Structure 1
């Protein structure tokens, strides 16, 4: 299709090169031999003699095909990752529940009996496959696009837990889940694109920038406080403790993944293996993932899956996007409308999390209908239950 464009008629515009890239990115559906087209066109020959970079610029159109292919490949891997991770949560939860019924020490109490359960290992391997797909997705697509697609994992986990675990999410919780996903989708649409980092040296320079070092130091201090003080005291009663630890560690996980993805792309270069950054990133990735798995197990063993996974997704996504924006400084190129919409999306996500957390124990149950159909009697119950002694009093507010 691109070969049918009347390109000689637009070469006189000063911005022809930029226009060509845009046109080719929009209408070219398959690779085109631009070198042959240039050689057979006298107008292009004349222009090439006056512009030494024309041939290289035309080749950028072919690179746009490759970029589009990589983008769709990255998004496909991210979708597959969401499916696998959403299913793995259910497998691991079933294993933990079965161990609890058999009298084993619960993971929330420090037990590690799940390490001997084949179903838990099946869930772990499934999650590993999902994380591998997610890792590969970061190699082809920006983190600002890959990470928010975890919203599909929330839906998959919620549906499967309803059918396989018998867990119930009330209307308010469903609305909170919907708002969380909606906010994440808005975040995807208006999220900035990350700057291109093509070498370990570029990655090193960005990791050593003062702003990013301060940010990571704050994250590390918060993790230490949560692990050493809040987790032993409030971990089993506050759903945000364990999940916050997992989410904050996402800053280290994603930074390591992006750096290792660059190292893998440059694997033929022997200097990659000799670079200390490669091994530092690998060590950081292993430690952060192991710690995340440990606290995620505690969270799944202690709280409802329908609450754990959406909250974990929202907090993790927020941390990862914040890390990506600070690391790659994408906010500098954002338009005002994108900034406002991004902040609004974060607000929607926060409201969704609040609804999931604050109203998780609220249950609305319809018990009877008025004889004349004028009103429905609704019993609103919340934990702790109302005392049984004395008459019940129904308050409508």
Structure 2
């Protein structure tokens, strides 16, 4: 394994800082949602009283700081390095849930957090060097490849179906509906964040990227995706404890780590049966 580039190291540090803030924001926002739900209509029932709760806003500001760091990390390091490090936020959430929400993380949650840490470290150690991008137009060319366009169209067709058909019917009883919306939009958000991050990095270096319409398209798209995800994440988290949230995220990331490890090790040795 070669040494990590300076850009990858910068991205790594920013991603870790992001995990600290985002992990903290989950619990602070959860406390705000609980306080708001005690005096008004709960977010899970369609209420927005949490907008008047200082704890929720504190959590939101903390999340914004974390997302800014995450945003900057994508400008320096490949997505395969930055995205898995988001799993570290689970560990911070679990610790803060214990101290702020007075919740106990059971043994499976602890194991999940450890596996998240191991999986994240493994991916970081094998993170590839990123191709050099000279203009946001290059990102646009990649984003307009037939394969990605087909995928984006499928996602943008499924999300409205989930929002208008399944949220009213099953949103209160099946959290997978909210998770589906956030996950589908999140897969596109990563691409948009990467593009805007690169545009800002190049602009600060003297190559203004905001003269291109592509930069503004990606910016508006990222804002829209983030607002949509925040809305449905609030509805999902309102019905769960910090411990449950951490455990569920741990389980999801553990699956991803397992798939990665299987893929990474399948060609090692070269003596196995074909």
Is 1:79 the equivalent of 2:2?
no
**2:212 equivalent in structure 1:** 275
Structure with bigger helix share is 2
Q: Which consecutive residues of structure 1, in runs of 5 or more, have no partner in the other structure?
A: 1-21, 27-66, 322-336, 344-397
Deviation at 1:160, TM superposition (A): 0.8
Change (3 A) 1:175 1:130: same
Task: Encode CA deviations 1:352-387: one digit per residue, 9 max, x unaligned.
Answer: xxxxxxxxxxxxxxxxxxxxxxxxxxxxxxxxxxxx
Question: Once structures 1 and 2 are overlaid, which stretch shifts more, 187-196 or 69-78?
Answer: 187-196
Task: Say whether the 8 Å CA contact 1:247–1:315 is kept in structure 2.
Answer: no
Task: Say whether the 8 Å CA contact 2:113–2:250 is kept in structure 1.
Answer: no
Deviation at 1:172, TM superposition (A): 3.3
CA distance in 1, matches of 2:224, 2:251: 22
CA distance in 1, matches of 2:49, 2:173: 22
Is 1:150 the equivalent of 2:86?
yes
CA distance in 2, matches of 1:301, 1:85: 17
CA distance in 1, matches of 2:254, 2:222: 17
Matches within 5 A, 1:1-397: 68-102=5-39, 104-190=40-126, 192-267=128-203, 268-269=206-207, 272-312=209-249, 340-341=263-264
The CA RMSD measured in Å over matched residues stands at: 2.9
Question: Once structures 1 and 2 are overlaid, which stretch shifts more, 140-149 or 220-229?
Answer: 220-229
Deviation at 1:293, TM superposition (A): 0.7
Change (3 A) 1:278 1:197: same
Deviation at 1:84, TM superposition (A): 0.7
Change (3 A) 1:224 1:312: farther
**2:269 equivalent in structure 1:** none
CA distance in 1, matches of 2:254, 2:112: 16
TM-score by length of 1: 0.59
The count of corresponding residues between Structure 1 and Structure 2 is 262
Larger relative contact order (Cα-Cα within 8 Å, sequence gap ≥ 6): 2
Change (3 A) 1:317 1:251: farther
Larger Rg: 1
Deviation at 1:251, TM superposition (A): 1.7
Helix, strand or coil for the counterpart of 1:196? Answer: coil
Task: Say whether the 8 Å CA contact 1:187–1:341 is kept in structure 2.
Answer: no
Helix, strand or coil for the counterpart of 1:266? Answer: helix
CA distance in 1, matches of 2:265, 2:218: 29
Task: Encode CA deviations 1:195-247: one digit per residue, 9 max, x unaligned.
Answer: 33331221121011111112222222332232222222222222322122212
CA distance in 2, matches of 1:154, 1:76: 17
Helix, strand or coil for the counterpart of 2:68? Answer: helix
Change (3 A) 1:146 1:83: same
Change (3 A) 1:269 1:71: closer
CA distance in 1, matches of 2:254, 2:212: 30
Q: Which consecutive residues of structure 2, in runs of 5 or more, have no partner in the other structure?
A: 267-274
Task: Say whether the 8 Å CA contact 1:190–1:342 is kept in structure 2.
Answer: no
